[in-house]
Structure 1
Amino acid sequence: MGAFAGTLSASSSSVRGVDRGWGRLGSMVDAATVRFPELGFYTLAGGAQDPRALIDECHDAERLGLGTVFISERFNVKEAVTLSGAAAAATSSLQIMTAATNHNTRHPIVTASYATTMHRLTRGRFVLGLGRGIAPLFDAYGLPRITTAQMEEFADVMRRLWHGETILGHDGAIGSYPFLRLDPTFDEDIPLGLVAFGPNSLALGGRAYDHVVLHTFFTDETLQRCVATVKQAAERAGRDPDTVTVWSCYATVGDHLDQPTRLKKTVGRLATYLQAYGDLMVETNRWDPAVLSAFRADEVVQGVGGAIDVVASTEQLEHIAGLLPDEWLAPAATGTAEQCAASVRGQLDLGADAVIMHGASPAELEPIVEAYGTP
Structure 2
Amino acid sequence: MANAIEIWTNFTALDRSDPFAFFERARMLEADGWDGATFPDSHQVNPEVVSMLGACTQITSRLRLGTGVTNPSTRHPAVVASAMMTLNAISGDRIVLGIGRGDSPLAYCGGSPVSIKDFEAALEMIRAYMKGETVPLELAATALARNSRVGFGDDLAMNHAPEGSLIKWIKPSHRRPPVEVICTGPKVIQIAARQADHITFALGADVERLAWAVGVAKEELARIGRDPADIIFGAHIPTFPHHDQAVARKLAEGYVTAQARFGVMTNKVVGPADAGQRANFERLAGNYDMRAHGMIGSAQARVLDDDFIDAFGLIGDPAAAVERLKRIVALGITKLQLVTSQASTDDGRASYGLATTEIMPAIRAAA
TM exceeds 0.5? yes
Match of 1:56 in 2: 24
1:150 is displaced (CA, Å) by 2.0
Q: 1:268 aligns with which of 254, 267, 271?
A: 254
Query: Is residue 2:166 matched to residue 1:181?
Result: yes
Q: Distance in 2 between matches of 1:256 and 1:349?
A: 26
Counterpart in 1 of 2:158? none
Q: Secondary structure of 1:55's match? A: helix
1:367 aligns with 2:357: yes
Alignment-derived partner of residue 58 in structure 2? 89
Aligned to 1:310: 295
| Residues 132, 146 of structure 1: 8 Å contact kept | yes
1:91-240 alignment runs, 5 A limit = 91-134=60-103, 138=106, 141-143=109-111, 145-171=113-139, 174=143, 179-183=164-168, 186-187=171-172, 188=174, 189-240=176-227
Given that 1:41 and 1:360 are in contact with CA atoms closer than 8 Å, whether structure 2 keeps it comes out as no
Residue type at the aligned position of 2:251: K
Gap runs ≥5 in structure 2: 145-149, 152-161, 343-351
1:117-145, CA deviations, whole angstroms, 9 ceiling, x for partnerless residues? Answer: 1110112111111111138x736625464
Post-superposition offset of 1:364 = 5.7
User: Counterparts of 2:235 and 2:261 in 1: how far apart (Å)?
Assistant: 22
In structure 1, what is the Cα distance between the partners aligned to 2:263 and 2:216? Answer: 21
Q: Structure 2: how far apart are the matches of 1:215 and 1:337?
A: 21
Residue 249 to residue 139, structure 1, CA distance change in 2 (3 Å):
closer
* Secondary structure of 1:180's aligned partner: coil
Q: Within the alignment, does 1:346 sit opposite 2:327 as a pair? A: yes
1:324: which partner in 2?
305
Q: Is the Cα contact below 8 Å between 2:183 and 2:199 reproduced in 1?
A: yes
Please give the alpha-carbon distance, in whole angstroms, between the structure 1 residues aligned to 2:218 and 2:121: 20
Shift of 1:366: 1.9
Alignment CA distance shift 1:185-1:101 (3 Å): closer
Shift of 1:218: 4.9
Task: Measure, in 2, the Cα distance between the counterparts of 1:64 and 1:82.
Answer: 23
Aligned equivalents of 2:126, 2:2: Cα separation in 1: 22
Instruction: Tell me if structure 1 keeps the 8 A contact 2:116–2:187.
Output: yes
Partner of 1:12: none
Number of aligned residue pairs:
333
One-letter amino acid of the counterpart of residue 284, structure 1: G
- Residue 117 of structure 2 aligns with an amino acid whose one-letter code is A
Unmatched segments (≥5 aa) in structure 1: 4-15, 17-36
Bigger mean CA deviation after superposition, 180-189 or 280-289: 280-289
One-letter identity of the residue aligned with 2:334: D
Query: What SS does the aligned partner of 1:141 have?
Result: coil
Residue type of the alignment partner of 1:119: N
Displacement of 1:204: 0.7
Letter of the 1:56 counterpart: E
TM-score scaled by length of structure 2: 0.77
Q: Which amino acid aligns with 1:263?
A: R
Identify if the C-alpha distance between structure 1 residues 265 and 347 changes in structure 2 by more than 3 Å, giving closer, same or farther: farther
Contact 1:72 / 1:99 at 8 angstroms: preserved in 2? yes
Hey, what's the Cα distance between the residues in 2 that align with 1:277 and 1:117?
Answer: 33
* Structural mapping, 1:27-38, within 5 Å: 37-38=5-6
Q: Please state whether the residue corresponding to 1:113 is helix, strand or coil.
A: helix
Q: Give the drift of 1:345.
A: 2.4
Secondary structure of 1:61's partner? helix
Aligned-residue sequence identity (percent) comes to 21
SS at match of 1:271: helix
Following superposition, the deviation at residue 276 of structure 1 comes to 7.3
CA distance in 1, matches of 2:327, 2:17: 33
Contact kept, 8 Å, 1:337 with 1:367, in 2: the verdict is no
